Structure 1
Amino acid sequence: MVFLIPIFQGLSMKKIVGCAYAMVFLVILVHSDGLAQQSSIGKPSSKSSSIFHALQKQLEASKKNPDQPKKIVQSHLKLGEYYHSLGLYSEAMEQYNKALDQLGTDFNDTLFITLNNNIGKVYLSLNNFELAEQHFTETLNASKGIKNDRGLAISLGLLGASHEKQGEYEEALKDQKESLLLFQKMEDQPGVAMTNENIGSIYEDLEQFDMAYQYFNKAYQYLKGKGTVEEVNVLNNLGDSFRKTGNYPAALEKTAMALEVAQRLKDFHQLESAHKDLSKTYAFLGDFEKAHAHLLQAEEFNSAMLRAQNTDQLNVLQTIYETNKKEAEIQLLKEQNKVSRANQNLLWVALFAIAAILTILYNYLGRKRKAKLKIQEYKQRMLKAELEKKVIEEKNLQQEVQLKTSSLSRYSLHLSQKNKILLDLANTLRNIAARKHMDTSEKIKALVKEIDFNLQQEQEWDEFMTFFKEIHPEFIKKLSTLSENNLSPAELRLGMLLRLNLSSKEIASILRVTPDSVRVARHRLRKKLSIDQKEELVNFMIDL
């Protein structure tokens, strides 16, 4: 290091530290011969094949119960998340799309919200921000529709992460703060911690390190002592905040705590991040040996992580290949079985053909027999219809005879009544004519009284009533029930005479009243029966 002293003469301490740090990194990069950049995938799993097989078995088991589609969706979802964790994005998208196809058009389901967010995460990992934000926005609207605060909070957080990656810090802060309010409302501590850390990261990008530290510290209060990857992340971020504000002892303390938790977790990615942050801090402190040592360790963990990740990917891809190969072999055997069965089926086809011909012949003869039966049934129905027609005609004739009988009876009744009165009058007048010295005036008066008396007799009406009831037995009963007030005998007589379709003049003659009196009586009867003004009273009585 002595040969570097002339180069640093005349420079400030801050510039010297910066130059030294850059040179240390240059040496390490040359030493590592251009190793790939660090991956953002989580810690590798040594049991990738067993995990993959377990997820595949779970998917196959769920497919055996097609009446429970949500279990199939969940199986595809878990397998897609596993592919995503290994960086196999195309395989992850395939599983997510199969899950969506199984889910159908139920966009208000919580599974749809998770699936759509996961698809957006894949696009976000591929830096396809437009498609990622499109899926996050769809999920956000769906979460609002079903009032799913958790889905809404997660979607806002992912939108904020997309804006942050694109340098749109104002939109990112707005989304993350809305997400934080929702997680606080739900009292979701992991969500609150994660969102506080995301907001701190945005302020760190804006070089507002005091604000970044406040949010990182809030996140740490939720994660402190949990021994999780999230605790390591926030400790590393706190160390970054202290380092960037020149508080190197505090930075070393937080990063060392992160390294300790990462070692317990055996998380290569977090171990790499902790050693790299320690290297940066020691470089600023001028302790280049420690900076170099930690940077070498960071590079080793990065290489180990990449190797483990590549191994996991190869194992899973190999397993997928072998699975597909076995499925192809099974399909080939099935096709061969189909060909072998085809020859056997020829014999069955011949037998079925003979059976079909016999069945067709039997059915033909059966249909022919049924057709004959139908013709016979049709002829019987025709005969029955003709008989019914004759019965109806006979019934109509009987009704016509009854109507004519009724008219004749009415006429006979009228003549009988008139003839009886005339006979009585003739007898009386004959007696008067035989007595020469009789006072005719007095006798005529007595005759008038007798006529009046005879007209008031009810015997003829009783006979008429009896005869009318025989012809129209239900008329009087029906007429009486139509009025709320009881009908008088005179009103019932008027109704019966109207039923016989007599004119007002004829009714007046029979009742020995004036036609005007008949019209008044008809009006009163119509009023009692509440008959529509447009309907004729006579027609009403005839239809009754």
Structure 2
Amino acid sequence: MYYDIFQDYNKAKPYIERAMQLSREIGSGTLLAQTQTVLSNILIKEGKYNEAMILLKKSQQFAENENFTEILPDIYQGLIKISLKENNYRSAFGYQQELDALEDSIFSVNQTQIINELQTKYETEKKEKENRILRQNIQIQQRTTLLLIISLIALIIVTVLLYLFYRLRNKALKQKAILYKQERELQELENSRLEDQLFAEQQINKLQNEKLEHQNRELSSRILHAINKNETMNSILEELRKNKDDESIDNSQCYLRVNQLVKENTSVDKEWDYFKIHFEEVNPGFFQSLQAEFPELTQNELKLCAYYRIKLSTKEIAKILNVTNAAVQKSRYRLRKKMGIPSKTELPEFMGRF
């Protein structure tokens, strides 16, 4: 092409001829036809029409035999140029018609090829689109299947968990009911035991109170016996005192002896000591508790408290202490005031707390 542009044909021809020789050696008819066509164009420009015609005919024959249509337009154009140079317009017109027919054929082939390519491309794209849609549908189906499997597994897991939950819950409720029943039975047993214990304690307290009352009654009886003895002794002593001055009876020595015996048997202190011993056996800790709370109490007031503890009356206390009822009432008033005992509270009831 370089030599064609600058019309340096003499330099171009050796290379073209060498290319033709190589084409024959390697047996490439296509390359030989192309180099012959190029060489014919140079020969036409040099005015060597016959040589150019021979080369073009050879190339035409090869192209038509081998259906090498790509080179035919160049061959027909070369033949048209030669015919026009030789003023052979009839041949030029014939070659032009063949060229037009060839170009139409090539155009038709090209169009068909383009249409086929477009059709193929369309079919390919359609197929690819269908394949893509199919793949997407497969993926969607796979995802749907996977989701269904996951949902089914999740449903199974939830069902199993709910079953286990309700089973454990029912088991826990049963255990709770059993524990509640056992606790209720234990509570009933405990209540029964407490009731039995309370009943036993009440019976023991009742027996103790009865025993205490009995012992207090014995103390009261002994005190009353001592009171009666003192009264009897005092009556004897009074009778002896009346007969002491009777001159008809010599009883001075007898009076002195009886008087001594009466005084010995009517000793209040001895009676108190004996009473205190037996009282503390029946009411242990009475005097200690009383003195701990009321340390200012005197011995006579402690005696008075003890007598009220065993529920002796004012008259009985007066006989024991060998004093008047008024003196006992006065002592009782002072005792209430010192111990802060309300007027509504009975002294035996108050003393029963110690």
Higher relative contact order (CA closer than 8 Å, sequence separation 6+): 1
Could you tell me the TM-score, scaled by structure 1's length? 0.33
Q: When the two structures are superposed, what TM-score results if normalisation uses the length of structure 2?
A: 0.48
